[in-house]
Structures are given as C-alpha cells and as structure tokens.
Amino acid sequence: MFRSLTTRLIVWSLALTGLVYVTAISLSNREGRRTAIAAAEREANDDTDAAAFAVEDVLHAAEESAAGLARAVSELHPEPDALARLVRRFSLDNQDTIARYAVILASEADATAPAWYREAMERGAPGWSEPRRDPDVQNATVITWTIPVRGADGHVLGVVAASLRLDFLSTVVREVHLGVSGFALVLSRQGLLVAHSRRDLSEGVHDPVAELSPALRAVVEPVARRAATGESGFAAVPFDGRVFRLTFRPIERTGWFLATAYAEDELLVDVSRLQQTQILLAASGLVLLSLAVVILSRRITRPLAALASSAGQLATGNLDGPLPQATSEDEIGALTTAFHHMRDSLKEYIRNLQETTAAKERLEGEMKAARRIQADMLPPSTAGGPSAGYELAATLEPARAVGGDLFDHFEQDGRVFFLLGDVSGKGVAAALFMARAKTLFDAVAEHELNPGVILTTLNRSLCRQNEAGMYVTAVCGTLDLGTRAVTFAAAGHEPPILLRADGHARPLETEGGRVLGLIDLGDYPVTTLTLGRGEALVMYTDGVSEARNPEGDFFGADRLLAAVSHAAAGPATVITTGLLEEVNRFTAEAEQADDITILTIKLPEAAR
C-alpha cells in the first residue's frame, strides 16, 4: 500500500497537517485554559476579599459599640437598675446589627455565669467567642464579643458582651457570585461551619461539621481539610464528581477563614466551546485539504507512474519501447524530456560500447599473441645443470601484457653468455625495443667475447633510428666454465649480487657505463672475478628493488639481500623463485608497477 508515491504523499501530507492542527488546538486550548483560570482566580480573589471586608466591617462595628458600653460602665459605675437601662438603650440603638448586649459585674457573678464571661475573665483581654446557640435570642446561633471592664486601679469590674446573629454572615457569603455552582463558606478556628451559600442544601447556619447533613458535609469537609494545610493560591479540589477551584481568606478579628469555590468546568465553558469550534474547523479543513491533496497528487504522480513503467522496460534492455510525451513545462515535463534524451543516449552508448568491446577483444587477442611471441623470443628459463658445471635460472613477469625487460643466455665454446636488460617504459613500444636489443645481442655475442665491447656495439646500434629516445639498462657477461671466471660489464644497471656458499650476499663493486641507446659515446669497463663452488651471481631489474606494498614502502636492497641469502643452499631455480615469491608476498594486493626480471647463475658444489 505504502509503496505507492500517491498514497505516501496523501498520507504524509494529511498526517503532518493533522499534527499541525492538533498541536495548534492543544496550544490554544492550554493557553485559553490558563487564561480562563487566571481570570477566574482574579474574580474569586476579588469576591472573597469583598466578602471578607464586609464581615470585618460588621465585626468592627460590633466591637466599637461594645467598647462604648464598656467605657460607660467603667466611668459611670451605674447601679443595677441604671445598668439595665443603659444596656437596653444600647440594644435599641444597635438592634440592626447586635442581637443583644449583656453586662455581668464581677461582684454579682456566680457559678451560673455564662461561658463567654468565664472565657473573658480567663483571657483578661477582648476577644470573640466561638459560635454558640443563645437561649436568650430564640436559641439562635451567635458569636459574642467580650471586653473586660477595669476600674481605675486596674481591677476587673466585670465583662461587657455584644452578641451577633450569624445570619448576617449567610447574607454576606450569598452575595458572592461564582458561577452557577460556585459557593462560599466560613469556618471557625475550631473547624465549625459558621455560614455558607449553598441554599440548595441548607438555609440555616450550623456549628460542628459532624452534625451537618450528609450532602452539606460532603461539600464542607474537603474545604476544611484543604484549609487546615494552610494551602494558598487557586487550589483544585475534587468533590461531587467535579473539580472546584478554591480561594481562602482569613478573617483576622475572629481567627476564621472565608473560602470560595468555583466550578472548573463552568469557568472553562468558553474554552470548551472554542475547542469544539476549532475541532470542527480543523476537521472541515482536513476534509478540504484531503480532496486537494488527492487531486493534486494524482495529477503529479500519474505521469510519474507512466515514466516508472517505461523505466522498467528500459531496465530490461528494451530501448525501443514507448515513452510518454512531455505535456507540461514543469519539472515533470523536464523529467520526461530527460528520459527521452537518456534513452537516445543509452542507444548511442550501447552502440559505441559494442564497437569498443569488439575492438578491445581484438586488441586483447593481439596482445595475447604478442605476449606469446615475446615469450618465444626469450631463451629457456633454465639451463645447465650439475653435469654442465653451472646452473642458470631466469624469470620475467611483465607489468602489462607485454613488457620491456629481457634476459638472454647461451653456451658457446665452453663459455656461457648472459644478458639481463630493462627497457625504459612499458608496453608495446618497450617490448619492440626489447626485441631489437635481444636480436642485436645474439648477433654480436656470437663473434665477441668481451662484454664491454658487446655493450659498446649494442649502444652504437641502438642509437641509430631511435627518435623516440628509448634506452636500455643492462648487465652483460660471460662465464668461463673451465676457469670459473666471470667477466661482466654494466650499462646504467644495478651490479650483480654475489651470493657466497655460506649465504653471505653483497653487491659487486663495478664501474658501470652509460645506458644503451641514447648517446654513442664512451666505453663500458669490464669486471672479472672467479666464482667458487656453491657461489652464485643474482641479477635483477628495478622492478624487484622498487616494488611497493599497499602502504607505499619499497622492497629495497636489504630485503633483496635477505631473500637471496635465505635461499643460498638451493639451486639457481630456488634462488630465483624464492626472490620472486618474497617480492610478491611483500607487495600483497598492490598493483605491479614495473616489469620484474631475475637471472641467477650458480656453480654447483661438485665439479663437472
């Protein structure tokens, strides 16, 4: 399914677009949610602060009126009847806010004195009581502000009390508007429910939370637990299967706190509506985009599919099959035109390749024939033997099909003539020059015994008609089988290596002459030495000493001497093949850069 370019284009386009839509909607919803919660928190803080200030105002008014009554009692020291009239007067003047006033003198107090009196005497300072039910006010729930009254000497004369109905708190908290389900409540410092705005659960005020109805208790208890932790901020609290955001404010005068709750789903209703709108728009956009992508992708991929089919035929070698025509000037039209050019170019290339291959095969056949001819021009790779009084072994490994190295040898009148040469360059030209040099050597050596004269004659002949400037380095010599004397001369070539019977090897010291074929001047000094039984002369071209391994290191003279020394005990064939094997082992996989030729002459241990 997903092998189709059309399918991948449609799927990936819609997937990436959908991802962008989802990311945008998620970020928008998260930002909208954060903004809505922040706005609701500001609103809840403002409403909570307003409610707390309203409660503080009422409590402050009660405290001020009670303080006025206390000053009157402290200064006037009224008799009981006058005190009763004073209390009634204060009650009439403040009946809108104060449920009742009470004054108990210390001289008249007994064990039946109310709890607020005893708390005030113990406290010795003004303070608010916890909510309680007052039988003198139709058993209504009240809170009482008590002030100890002191005489001029500082002794407590009695206690003045002003009691407030808690109904006023319910009126205050019900004015806090926090959505449809939001509510507010007030808890005392001992955890008593003082007031709340959940009229759907209860109209009255209450004392202990444990005595509330199950429904109201389920609302109050989570708020009371969260308030007990001292948590601030717009805290999230789950109850009634919903999440409410809570804000707390302390009422400093009483030690109570006011809590307001905002239903989170209500404050996020606009965000949810926006999210639904965005999802609807995104879905509509994806549908329209899907149609556009399908139509566009098919228009794009239809000619590509035709090109793919034609390319498949081209891949099988059918270059005469039909190709779609370019019908547009866009990239697809350019690609179609390029396919036409490619097919024509392939036809031309294959035609040229066939011609080139045929020519190469003919050339390879000719080169193979040339290599056979060149090999046939060389003498046998071995000669002599124990009965002949000498051993000779030679090998030639051209770097190409034909090479420019040469070796030659023959035995005549008790002498062994030998030649080893290296023509400049490689390939066919070097092979032809090598053939010319060998032919001249064979012709000259038949009538001349002196290697120096032989090289001089070769040089003179090779200098003629040598416009290409090719040249030969060579070692030429003779071995007198009777006296074991070796006479040789070198023309710009490395001197032979003398290999003793004990394995010691060293290059012979000789004075060489010029290379052959460049300048018809000079002579070629001759060196003579006598070979002992078991000793050998090893001659080689620079393809041996300058062979390189894959790291670029040269084989070098030290490895060469070590290789021939290792094979000193063997016959000439072992010395020659051993040296070649060491070179091949050293070069490993590296390409052979030059022709390799080795020629070894050895005197056997036993006499002929």
Where are any strands of DSSP class E within 218-369? 235-239, 242-251, 256-263
Give the Cα-Cα-Cα angle 540, 365, 434 (nearest 5 degrees): 30
Average pLDDT of the segment spanning 251-276 = 77
Q: Which residue has the higher pLDDT, 365 or 399?
A: 399
Q: Which residue has the higher pLDDT, 605 or 370?
A: 605
Distance CA 369, CA 373 (A): 6
pLDDT tens digit sequence for 300-339: 777 766 766 777 666 666 767 677 776 776 777 777 777 7
Instruction: Decide if pLDDT at 21 tops 80.
Output: no
Instruction: Decide if pLDDT at 360 tops 90.
Output: no
Rounded to the nearest integer, the mean pLDDT of the chain is 81
Q: Which residue has the higher pLDDT, 606 or 244?
A: 244
pLDDT tens digit sequence for 420-441: 999 887 777 788 888 888 888 8
Instruction: Decide if pLDDT at 478 tops 90.
Output: yes
Instruction: Decide if pLDDT at 11 tops 50.
Output: yes
Confidence band of 206 (pLDDT split at 50, 70, 90): low
Confidence band of 484 (pLDDT split at 50, 70, 90): very high
- pLDDT, position 4: 65
Closest by CA position to 129, among listed 139, 138, 118: 118
The type of residue at 220 is V
Q: What is the DSSP string of 422-437?
A: EESS-SHHHHHHHHHH
Q: Which residue has the higher pLDDT, 302 or 279?
A: 279
Instruction: Decide if pLDDT at 501 tops 80.
Output: yes
Q: What is the DSSP string of 116-131?
A: HHHHHHHH-S-EEPPP
Give the Cα-Cα-Cα angle 527, 531, 536 (nearest 5 degrees): 100
Number of other residues whose CB lies within 10 A of the CB of residue 504: 12
Where are any strands of DSSP class E within 197-288? 235-239, 242-251, 256-263
- CATH superfamily, with its number, for domain 1-301: PAS domain (3.30.450.20)
Contact criterion met (CB below 8 Å) for 419 and 409: yes
CATH code of the domain occupying 379-602: 3.60.40.10
pLDDT tens digit sequence for 446-469: 888 899 999 999 888 888 888 888
Measure the CA dihedral 328/332/336/339, to 10°: 160
Confidence band of 401 (pLDDT split at 50, 70, 90): low
- pLDDT, position 608: 43
- pLDDT, position 364: 63
